[in-house]
Structure 1
């Protein structure tokens, strides 16, 4: 509030907003012999802001990253198409179970639904076991893959009435597909929420996203009921509507993922950054890297060319020492005494792949350094040089400069060199750097 006193008259101005630079006046209170209140004529902005507070984080837009708005717009559109298609697929599924048929039994329908849900639960556990640790480092890829799997699940539900003899198998396959969606979508959403939060407001962002999703759900349900009613008893219209919405859903998801400019490092981003730094001496920004990284594994092979090297495909982080044969073990011990006396990792070249062996006490900074070192070595493999000697020389001269430029280019330090680094080695050793006579 601002107050001033002129000729025994007290004037109080009422302002509203979350930031001192983005306030708007809502009322003026004048007190002399009597009190008068003059409310701002622009009351619409005040009401609109209150309505908006239910759907956007406090302090918006300054409290979130620039890619928050485009991502949420495309994400809401893809969610809207999903809810409309859900009405169509659910209608087909209920028809296949026997809803409305005199011959259908309650116990039969209940068992089929239970079997469907049980398959989904088991699938979710298995997916978490095999891929849970990869969801943070590949949030874009798994976000897109989750929605594609959801599309497949709804397609199975829509197909189920067409194949009565294989109904249970088809329904369970669809439930299995959606279980992958639930795990991957939930986990990657948590990672993206942390990315969007600029003011430790991840909980607020998550809550407001719930409001956005609820609104999209209500609109989608209404439109879905309308579409389902229009297309009833018309299989051609049902399939045309479903496939059209699915195509739009896939496009919206792709656009949403492409909007993201994540500022944490993973395998591919590290590779892109290092290659560009070696060639130009400069470090790309997160926005620049976001346009170059892939969102699906297949894109790596489809878009690759002879002139392009994807260094991260030549590096394996984590190797069993016990898997080495005797010559490899001898080379490892020799390089340990020559090049890795002070390091908490070893690098081993095996059949064109640089494998990293980490010390069991290695920190996030050691893991990052080992991976960058391995990428440098992979970059030198085609030049037939002394890999250990040349790569170590580069690390001594350029590594610290590279890390400093990463920080100054927008790559967040706390996510770069802290225990929250988004990848870890699978196998560790205890006696790295200790040469035995």
Structure 2
């Protein structure tokens, strides 16, 4: 028996499927037995570990989720994508209703309508949208990174307003062109803000430098949502044709759901970058407890609505950051402010690449022309400390300097250990800087 066993050799192959080494699934075992004495071989024996249907399902899923999912993305990716897909679905359904109304207003299906008239109106609509996108980028392009959540909501709200204009256009024939251009202008803001914030969120989700893969898979998800939305939209448009009340009820109901889904989507996000509001929340908690909040904890505390709505909300937080002006222009200050800055530059800010000036509760930050991203972050953190000291009725400049010297480095290390990215502060671009030369008795500003 032992000699016979020695004369046979067995080779076993295992088949595994998966895109990540930690998430592989064994699909088959192939055994191959050979008799060495007779040099005869036997047919391989294949034992499958999973059904072809399960394998096909996994292959289809790979077209819609990033490679290595869920380990290749952040934990907030899946809930965000679910809500984002639902809001997208409602958008495409409403698009069918608004487009139907718009085409009717242009004159599609009417004998009196002219091709050149409809073409001109459509061209005017597109032209207004293009110009609106350029103007919006010029005024707000540099601020989109710093408030990605808020601008994500604003973008979809502007899209809702654009579709509302399309639906209103048949009701006011005399003002049709104006309403048409207004709707296009509103949607142009959506295109710029949504695209820019989506890029920022994609970078956030990517844990393995797989931003391109995440973006591609999002395209697949959006395509499916678009097809489903178009099918449901055509069905709904067919059912409600000629019934104005039904159209408005459906449109408004879907709009409310769209706004709710967008709000839930951005609330799912736990961004690890530091912007003005998140920095304020973290620092105030640190000053009170000595502990640094995690990105998930801060996400549940920060307000994603615009500031003018936040002030009315019961969820509003201490808005010290709203009273800080970053990158103030030197020539915009009066002589008294310049005189005080001269004194501060020679006393409390000798080693700093920034100057802080407090006026009526507002803290103005003047950045040095040689300041770095780390200096910008430190200047803003010190301004927050000053804001808290002023609120408590204490000396802002001297005590904030003591806090920076004693606690700032440890604070930044705790931020990093809690998962925060501290390489820069996401704030509106600092376009104005200054240079100051400190002499023997006073300071000189260039």
Normalised to the residue count of structure 2, the TM-score between the two structures is 0.93
2:36 is aligned with 1:35:
no
Kindly provide the CA deviation profile for residues 147-191 of structure 1, in whole angstroms up to 9, marking residues without a partner as x: 010000000000100110010001110000000000000000000
Map 1:177-256 to 2 at 5 A: 177-256=186-265
2:356 is aligned with 1:355:
no
Counterpart for residue 337 of structure 2: 328
- 1:390, distance to aligned residue in structure 2 (A): 1.0
- 1:23, distance to aligned residue in structure 2 (A): 1.5
Counterpart for residue 16 of structure 1: 17
Residues 332 and 436 of structure 1: CA distance in aligned 2, closer, same or farther (over 3 Å): closer
- Contact conserved, 1:316 with 1:356, CA < 8 A, in 2? yes
Kindly provide the CA deviation profile for residues 218-254 of structure 1, in whole angstroms up to 9, marking residues without a partner as x: 0110111100001111111111111111111011001
Kindly provide the CA deviation profile for residues 363-412 of structure 1, in whole angstroms up to 9, marking residues without a partner as x: 11000000001111111112333211111111111111111111111113
- Contact conserved, 1:92 with 1:160, CA < 8 A, in 2? yes
Map 1:306-317 to 2 at 5 A: 309-317=318-326
**Which residue of 270, 276, 288 maps to 1:267?**
276
Map 1:150-169 to 2 at 5 A: 150-169=159-178
- 1:47, distance to aligned residue in structure 2 (A): 1.1
For structure 2, which runs of at least 5 residues remain unmatched after alignment?
1-5, 34-40
- 1:433, distance to aligned residue in structure 2 (A): 6.0
- 1:24, distance to aligned residue in structure 2 (A): 1.2
- 1:44, distance to aligned residue in structure 2 (A): 2.6
Q: Distance in 2 between matches of 1:193 and 1:6?
A: 59
Residues 84 and 153 of structure 1: CA distance in aligned 2, closer, same or farther (over 3 Å): same
- Contact conserved, 1:312 with 1:375, CA < 8 A, in 2? yes
Map 1:18-417 to 2 at 5 A: 18-32=19-33, 33-36=41-44, 37-297=46-306, 298-303=308-313, 309-412=318-421, 416-417=422-423
Residues 149 and 333 of structure 1: CA distance in aligned 2, closer, same or farther (over 3 Å): same
Q: Which range moves more in the overlay, 110-119 or 422-431?
A: 422-431
Q: Distance in 1 between matches of 2:358 and 2:437?
A: 17
SS at match of 2:273: coil
Kindly provide the CA deviation profile for residues 10-53 of structure 1, in whole angstroms up to 9, marking residues without a partner as x: 11111111233322111222222123233334333211110001
- Contact conserved, 1:67 with 1:259, CA < 8 A, in 2? yes
Q: Which range moves more in the overlay, 295-304 or 365-374?
A: 295-304
Q: CA RMSD in A?
A: 1.8
- 1:323, distance to aligned residue in structure 2 (A): 1.7
Q: Distance in 2 between matches of 1:251 and 1:132?
A: 26
SS at match of 1:55: coil
Q: Distance in 1 between matches of 2:317 and 2:256?
A: 31
Q: Distance in 2 between matches of 1:376 and 1:196?
A: 31
Residues 41 and 270 of structure 1: CA distance in aligned 2, closer, same or farther (over 3 Å): closer
Residues 436 and 332 of structure 1: CA distance in aligned 2, closer, same or farther (over 3 Å): closer
SS at match of 1:51: helix
Q: Distance in 1 between matches of 2:121 and 2:355?
A: 54
SS at match of 1:377: helix
Kindly provide the CA deviation profile for residues 345-366 of structure 1, in whole angstroms up to 9, marking residues without a partner as x: 0001122211100011211100
SS at match of 2:370: coil
Q: Distance in 2 between matches of 1:344 and 1:154?
A: 48
- 1:6, distance to aligned residue in structure 2 (A): 10
Normalised to the residue count of structure 1, the TM-score between the two structures is 0.94
Counterpart for residue 429 of structure 1: 434
Residues 369 and 25 of structure 1: CA distance in aligned 2, closer, same or farther (over 3 Å): same
- Contact conserved, 2:85 with 2:225, CA < 8 A, in 1? yes
For structure 1, which runs of at least 5 residues remain unmatched after alignment?
none
Q: Distance in 1 between matches of 2:333 and 2:354?
A: 16
- 1:432, distance to aligned residue in structure 2 (A): 6.3
- 1:436, distance to aligned residue in structure 2 (A): 3.9
- Contact conserved, 1:343 with 1:433, CA < 8 A, in 2? no
